Amino acid sequence: QVQLVESGGGLVQAGGSLRLSCAASGRTISIIPMGWYRQAPGKRRELVALITITGRTTYSDSVKGRFTISRDNAKNTVYLQADSLKPEDTAVYYCSAGRMVALAYEPVYWGQGTQVTVSS
């Protein structure tokens, strides 16, 4: 079992930045691929950033170049640095811990989510 707790969401103006944190317990994240998802009202939950156990990162086209996922194994925490935020980034952001299945990420555990609201 892995427990995940997100923090760092809030209200920010367009062009601003936020750093989301995801504190994990139950297992060390150094051996678990971790992902950040988001879900806007009326839309499907989408994977925006992934970090594998080797540290390889991938991003959705919508956030590439603006968001950065990182991991601090000593703190068992994953971060999502979100810069140059746009109103369309407004969503609930969820941290996940999962596994790789045939090179695809499959989330297994979820945090409770943290709201990010970007005003124009």
Q: Could you read off the pLDDT of 91-108 as tens digits, one per residue?
A: 999 999 999 998 899 999
**Cα within 13 Å of Cα(22), Cβ side:** 28
CB 86 within 8 A of CB 69: no
Query: What was the pLDDT predicted at 36?
Result: 98
CB 94 within 8 A of CB 75: no
Model confidence pLDDT, tens digit, residues 66-90? 999 999 999 999 999 999 999 999 9
| Structure tokens given for 41 | 């009202």
Q: What is the DSSP string of 16-74?
A: --EEEEEEEESS-GGGS-EEEEEE-TTS--EEEEEE-TT--EEE-TTTTTTEEEEEETT
Percent of the chain with pLDDT over 70: 100
